Amino acid sequence: MPTGHARDDEGPTSAAAPQGGVAFHSLREYVPGDDPRSIHWRSSARTGRIMVRHNVVTNQPVVMVVLDTCQASYQPDSFEDAVRVVASLVNTSSVAHFPVELHTTGGLTAAADASGAGRVSMLDLLAEVQPATDDPGLAVLRTGLPHRKGVTLAVVTGQPDSSQLRAVSTVRARFEMATLVQLGGASARAGDFPGILTLNVATSADFEREWNRRVRPR
């Protein structure tokens, strides 16, 4: 998945990030259990308190994948193609050690952390998900998704009407990057959505070929 972030061991840090990495975040006062090798003696002498280096795992972008589960968005058989595409995106992102969130427009959610814990729950969800006639579709993107920094969005749908698709453009500014995948359309025909990587293909097999051509590193 393109994330818009360089994966850098010395990249952005946060006090909320997991401890134990190699990136220096700050100095803090020693607490029992800290590695004595992390003591910063110069700061300890200056403050009169034992100070240690607070090293963390650098922030990694979260990959958020949204599956449209509105039945009206799909032609016959194209929903299963959409599910296969979503399974590919969440599994590949998880294998690459990105935190992943899976959402459906019907309100189902699952997630995996950077270690991959939770990956099976996402695939289990996809094995059972079905489209629904009363599903609001992509309109929920405007109000139904978490809003925080450092998230890359991928939306997978069928051929919904233009008002539904405009919701993706509406929320684009909230995310580091955005990808829109449409199934059941004319192969490799992309819509005009500025700032959004768009693939409009007939089947999941067509998606694989087009994705590898346009995105996969060579």
10 lies in a domain?
no
Give pTM, 2 decimals.
Answer: 0.76
pLDDT for 1 equals: 64
Helix axes 204-214, 78-95, angle to 10 degrees: 40
Count the domains in the chain.
2
- Top pLDDT among 53 and 47 is at 47
Q: Model confidence over 123-171: pLDDT tens digits?
A: 999 999 999 999 999 999 998 887 777 899 999 999 999 999 999 999 9
Regarding whether 104 and 157 lie in a shared domain, the answer is: yes
**Structural domain containing residue 31:** 19-56
Cβ-proximal residues to 213 (8 Å cutoff; 6+ apart), any chain: none
pLDDT for 5 equals: 52
pLDDT for 108 equals: 96
Contact between 156 and 86 under an 8 Å Cβ cutoff? The reply is yes
92 lies in a domain?
yes
Regarding whether 68 and 38 lie in a shared domain, the answer is: no
The CATH number covering residue 172 comes to 3.40.50.410
Q: How confident is the model at residue 114 (pLDDT cuts 50, 70, 90)?
A: confident
Residue at a domain's end among 56, 84, 106: 56
Regarding whether 47 and 71 lie in a shared domain, the answer is: no
pLDDT for 144 equals: 81
Regarding whether 113 and 50 lie in a shared domain, the answer is: no
Per the prediction, the chain carries an average pLDDT of 85
